[in-house]
Amino acid sequence: MRMTLTAGLAASLLLFGCSTAPDPEPEAPRADPAAALRGEALARERCAACHAVGLTGASPMAEAPPFRTLHERYPVTFLQESLAEGLVTTHPAMPAVELSPDEIRDLIAWLESLENG
């Protein structure tokens, strides 16, 4: 009887432990509204002379794309590495951009918020 109880217990544990139900999808990280606000302030302070940073309007410099459209070209998270290394472009009017890791995080958070905007 003891053998039957042990075998039954082992079988139960095996069934419950090896469930075929799929694991739930991991939750996407939640956006930090404060980071997005800091990123917007940074863009207005350091980028608005050339780029449109608002939800409408043209960029002051025709060659500078409006920030609200960057996500249409590529995922804005791709900018994270470029910004960390010092963003440099091929046209001479664009200054070298140097941002701290926190500034990069904030700017990316704001750019991502524009995708839903």
Backbone angles phi, psi at 2, to 5 degrees: -60, -40
Residue with tokens 């003891």: 2
Provide the pLDDT for residue 88: 60
Can you list the residues of the chain whose pLDDT is less than 70?
Answer: 1-31, 86-92, 117
Fold of 33-115: Cytochrome Bc1 Complex; Chain D, domain 2 (1.10.760)
| pLDDT tens figures, 36-69 | 999 999 999 999 999 999 999 999 998 888 999 9
Provide the pLDDT for residue 6: 45
Provide the pLDDT for residue 26: 43
Q: Where are the domains of the chain?
A: 33-115
Provide the pLDDT for residue 66: 93
DSSP string, 17-70: HT--SPPPPPPPPPP-HHHHHHHHHHHHHHTTTTS--SSSS--SSTTSPPGGGH
